[in-house]
Amino acid sequence: MIFLNVNARYPGATHDAAIWEVSNINLNLSRRYQNGDRKTWLIGDSGYPIQPWMMTPINDALPNSPEALYTQLHCRARNVVERAFGSLKSRFRCLLKHRTLHYSHAAAGKIIYACIVLHNLCKQYDLPEVEYEDNEDDEEGDEEINPVVGGINTLTEGRLIRRQLVNDLSEL
């Protein structure tokens, strides 16, 4: 539940997938994939494009199918990410959706980076979180985006890799 990479250079209205498209991590994973690495994946929510290195849930999986099991395990793993964001926002209430930072984008970005560093230190030293009674829900619904953003080749390859993972799960 610590943050390994943060990008606070974009305003809040910028979609995650747009930031992902130009991120160093995406470019690095793309390069690694082109150089033969087929064993490195990240997990993302349904707002991200399907790519060979980005596994997303299967939204229309039939109940009790291998696809449903894949999606269930995917969501369980993603839960750690959501809990990390919840922990960060609980510790630093200024980051909640309805508590707007009244600073320039650059200053707000620096505040976010500082909160992330302090959060990671709190986790490293096992400092307890403060409990608040007004637990604001800051999650927005997952938005579907056009999965062709990553290109038809990476879309097809991403689906094939996800299918292989589903098949591997069905053999368990």
For residue range 43-69, what is the model confidence (pLDDT) as tens digits?
999 989 989 999 999 999 999 999 999
The answer to whether residue 96 scores a pLDDT higher than 60 is: yes
Is residue 83 one of the residues assigned to a domain?
yes
Is residue 30 one of the residues assigned to a domain?
yes
Length of the chain: 172
How do residues 108-144 score in pLDDT, each as one tens digit? Answer: 889 999 999 999 999 999 888 877 665 444 444 433 3
Higher pLDDT, residue 1 or 128: 1
pTM of the model: 0.69
Residues 6 or more apart whose CB falls under 8 angstroms from that of 14 comprise none
Is residue 7 one of the residues assigned to a domain?
no
* Tally of domains in the chain: 1
Is residue 125 one of the residues assigned to a domain?
yes
Is residue 2 one of the residues assigned to a domain?
no
Q: Which residue, among 73, 45, 76, 56, has the nearest Cα to 169 in the 3D structure?
A: 73
Q: Which domain holds residue 62?
A: 16-170
